[in-house]
A = this chain, B = another copy of it.
Amino acid sequence: MREMAGRPGTWSGLSLRVGQFVFAAASVCATASALGFAAYTAFCYLIASMGLQALWSLGLACLDCYALKFKKDLHSAVLVSLFVVGDWVTAILSFAAACSAAGVVVLFDKDIYACKRDHLLPCGKFELATTFAFFLGHVVPHLPL
Task: Please list the residues of chain A having a beta carbon within 8 angstroms of any beta carbon in chain B.
Answer: 39-42, 95-97, 99-104, 106-107, 110-111
Q: How far is the CB of A136 from chain B (nearest CB, A)?
A: 15
Q: Which residues of B contact A40 (CB under 8 A)?
A: 107, 111
A97 CA to B100 CA, complexed, in Å: 9
Please pick, from B39, B41, B95, the residue contacting A99 in the complex, using a CB distance under 8 A: B95
Chain B residue at minimum C-beta to C-beta distance from A110? B41
A110 CA to B43 CA, complexed, in Å: 13
Q: Which residues of B contact A100 (CB under 8 A)?
A: 99-100, 102-103, 106
Interface secondary structure of A, over-half rule: helix
Q: Which residues of B contact A101 (CB under 8 A)?
A: 103
Chain B residue at minimum C-beta to C-beta distance from A97? B99
Q: Which residues of B contact A95 (CB under 8 A)?
A: 95-96, 99
Q: How far is the CB of A98 from chain B (nearest CB, A)?
A: 8
Please pick, from B39, B96, B107, the residue contacting A104 in the complex, using a CB distance under 8 A: B107
Q: Which residues of B contact A39 (CB under 8 A)?
A: 111
